[in-house]
Amino acid sequence: MALPDEEGRILGPAGDGRVGVVAREDAGRVAAGVLTDPARYENQTLDVTGPEALTLDEIAAILTRVQGRPVTYVRETVEEAYESRKKWPAAQWQYDSWVSTYTSIARREMDVVSTTVRDVTGRDPFTFEEVARAALVVGPLTAAVVACPGLASLLSELRGEYIKRGLDPKNLSRTIEDAATVWEPILPWTSAGAYMAGTLGVATLAYLPWAISNWIVIFFALVWAATGIGIAKLTPEEQKALEAEG
């Protein structure tokens, strides 16, 4: 669920139903706890929830208070929900999944509060407001990196340089992947590293030696750069055509 959209609205056919929203970190800790002692939870079904079941009106009120801007819950019909989500290209099953999340709330199927997080992890689950306040801090930091105004310009300049050197621009995607995405989890200050360490409760340096596929890519990237192995080249004709496109 998008909470909220760019206009400060939560759209969905959830009616006045309640949902026991749970933080991803709590869900991750429960999963880690179960995997640590699987025999203890064999043949059990665990409802993993937050500490309270909230209506979307209550969620909107919390977001208004935390974010300092009006957030409202707009009740949609099922037909309106499908229509409003068409702005995101997706397969039909994905639209069904999005809309059914809200209709299950309306049917009171999500109105559940359990003690699973406390029972498995030994600590109380985060409240929705605590998660919202944490997101308020992390969000701007993420946006500062991911949504940097100069990023598109930089990538455009890099693409031009690749073409100038006779290299297929698809190499740029590979470079970005090797230079950041693949080994991001082994850097404790990135969102992936912080999430993994926080969810699993294991310090980054503790699992670093075992994250072979993450750090070995740095070595292979250097080998490929030095030898040219696997680096796609442009033919003179392709290079001229791409240069002409600008």
Tell me the pLDDT tens digit for each residue of 193-206: 766 666 666 777 77
Rounded to two decimals, what is the model's pTM? 0.58
CB-based contact 133:63 (threshold 8 Å)? no
For 205, the token pair is: 């340096």
- Hunting for tokens 């990538």 — which residue is that? 155
- pLDDT, one tens digit per residue, over 110-141 is 999 999 999 999 999 999 998 888 766 544 44
Q: Is the pLDDT of residue 153 over 70?
A: no
DSSP 8-state assignment for residue 124: P
Pairing of strands 72-75, 9-12: parallel
Q: What is the per-residue pLDDT for 141?
A: 40
What is the average pLDDT across 224-235?
84
Q: Residue 120 and residue 88: Cα distance in Å, rounded? A: 37
- Tell me phi and psi for residue 44, to 5 degrees: -110, 150
Q: Is the pLDDT of residue 1 over 50?
A: no
Pairing of strands 54-55, 18-19: antiparallel
Q: Residue 4 and residue 132: Cα distance in Å, rounded? A: 11
- H/E stretch holding 113 reads none
- Tell me phi and psi for residue 126, to 5 degrees: -70, 145
> Where residue 82 falls among pLDDT bands split at 50, 70, 90?
very high
Q: Residue 196 and residue 124: Cα distance in Å, rounded? A: 19
What CA dihedral angle connects 239, 242, 244 and 245, to 10 degrees? 180
